[in-house]
Structure 1
Amino acid sequence: MKKIYIGLLVLASLIVLSACGEEKQQASARAERAAPAGQAASPERSAPAPAADTVQYEMMTRQKTAGDCDPAEEGCTHIRLIYPKITRAAAKAALQQGVDAELLKPVFEAGAAAANSPDGLMAQFFTLYETTLNDDPASAMFGWAVERTIRVVYNTPRVFAIETGDYSFTGGAHPNSMTQYTNFDARTGKKLTLNDLFQPGYQQQLNRLAEQEFRRARQMGAGDTFESAGYWFENNQFRLPDNFFINEHGLSFFYNPYEIAPYAMG
């Protein structure tokens, strides 16, 4: 399925940004589709973020190919990493550590050790590729591709939010993609969760409002079941993902492919 955003209109009294000085925010949001991971970011280093009271950063690009090939051409095995390098912030070290935790996650193997640098991550990728190639020479018929793009989606004096987009292809019917959002207190570098944003006891009302928005965005009637509409919610009960980001409109939640429906569903 395609990626699904779902946004909410949440009562302002529900929201307490306690980790950020208990700043109240009203949340509204949207249902929209994201661009494929790895396609939106420029391969060039960008200028630092201009606002003096927000986190300052510059975008970095690291890339490695198998041989002298053009990553834009089909069959060129490559890995590309695009990510922000924090240049100035009250919590510079903590924020960079948070960015690096997303950047250096294993590319394919869940539970594998994270790399300790971009070069180390690229080396992991090519070690796995070459091992697979030796075991199955037929896999040389197509190239492998991994593109990990981390971009800043929200940057204020109190909140710093990033999107990590993973795109990979190792053969098969279609590439795989996944998007993960991470929110930080810009002043301390602390990773923010929903418990940091809402007053205690928020879950039931938030879930109810989210279900209403989901049904509206997916054109489902109040009496339609999720199962009949093709969704995989356990026990046919709506649930929000843990994957969300703070933005100028409030909060947006995000479902990845295969999380709640088949790939073919838009």
Structure 2
Amino acid sequence: MIKKIAPLLLLFLFIIGCKDTPLVSSEISFSHKDLPSCNTVACPDIFVNYPKYTGEEAVVKSINDSVKQFIIKTLYLDDPDQKPTAASIEEAAQEFIDMYRMHSAEFPDLTIDYYSEIEIEESFRSEELLSIELYQEKYTGGAHGYRSLAYGNFNIETGQEIPNEKLFKDLKTFTDVAETYFRQQHNISKNDEINSTGFWFDDNEFYLPESIGFNKKSLVLHYNQYEIASYAEGPIEVEIPQEKVAEYLTISLKK
């Protein structure tokens, strides 16, 4: 009887151990200087810092793949209607450099080198949620560079990314709450149109940004440049205290 129970006990302990495997991150840095092709020929600056997670394989693979794909997409300069095909960050960086060299050959008067800076870091973690902040800044020609900030929100048990609309029990209810905070922050009366102070909300109706994430104290609504205002206005951000939004969320922020 004991011989029959022992294997089952070991299997049970193995399963429990897998579930308790901690999600650990280490910071990885990469730059153009790591590419052999930049040892002898000058390259545009590329700097990338990002977390790489270890832990339960299925969980970390999903998170790490999402981070890697963000970096590859950011470095992609070819046909915007096509998806990038680079299989690694190094390959994507080399393609960025190759595209710069092709453009500089076509336009010899190009006076400013291209560059790309990508900073990715964990911004918040609870028992159920992992929120990652993904920032990029680059110049690829034109009057000025481009910068943006995005968030990736993941179920910490499965590693699957949570779409913005799945973060909330009732999206419309939370949107109304967010609008109240937005109006308060920008001194817009509830009786005035949301664009009365110069914002660009489509159809004069408030909506949530594409970038929604979390930091240690708040839920963050981040509107990137051009999303609801001019480039000169810069990004626009609204922070709502976690304790004020917890009841509207489908996931727990309890640590």
Taking structure 1 as the reference length, what is the TM-score of the superposition? 0.70
From 208, 231, 235, the counterpart of 1:263: 231
**2:91: which partner in 1?**
120
Whether the aligned pair in 2 keeps the contact of 1:55 and 1:160 (CA below 8 Å) is no
Structure with greater helix percent: 2
- Give the counterpart of 1:78 among 34, 45, 63: 45
Instruction: Give the Cα separation in 2 of the matches to 1:58 and 1:85.
Output: 5
1:175 aligned to 2:129? no
What amino acid is aligned across from residue 179 of structure 2 in structure 1? E
Cα displacement (A) at 1:94: 2.1
Kindly provide the amino acid, as one letter, of the partner of residue 102 in structure 2. T
User: Would the aligned equivalents of 1:94 and 1:189 in 2 still touch at CA under 8 Å?
Assistant: yes
**Higher relative contact order, chain-length normalized (CA < 8 Å, sep 6+):** 1
Partner of 2:11: none
Structure 1: runs of 5 or more not aligned: 1-51, 70-74
1:64 aligns with 2:35: no
Q: Aligned letter for 2:227?
A: E
SS in 2 for 1:264: helix
Query: In 2, distance between residues paired with 1:219 and 1:155?
Result: 32
Which structure has the greater CA radius of gyration? 2
1:142 to 96, 112, 126: 112
Q: Taking structure 2 as the reference length, what is the TM-score of the superposition?
A: 0.72
Contact 2:210 2:223 in 1 (8 A): no
Tell me, yes or no, if the aligned pair for 1:257 and 1:263 is still in contact at 8 Å.
Answer: yes
Structure 2: unaligned runs, 5 residues or longer? 1-19, 235-255
Instruction: Give the number of aligned pairs.
Output: 207
Is the CA contact (8 Å cut-off) linking 2:201 and 2:228 kept in structure 1? yes
Aligned to 1:103: 71
Q: Is the 8 A contact 2:136 2:148 kept in 1?
A: yes
Displacement of 1:257? 0.4
Q: What is the alpha-carbon distance in structure 2 between the residues aligned to residue 101 and residue 160 of structure 1?
A: 17
* In the alignment, structure 1 residue 164 sits paired with structure 2 residue 131: no
| CA distance, structure 1, for counterparts of residue 81 and residue 22 of structure 2 | 34
- Superposition pairs for residues 185-264 of structure 1, below 5 Å? 185-199=155-169, 202-264=170-232
Q: Deviations over 1:122-146 (max 9, x none)?
A: 111011101101111111x221111
- Classify 1:67/1:134 alpha carbon distance in 2 versus 1 (closer, same or farther; 3 Å): same
1:12 counterpart residue number: none
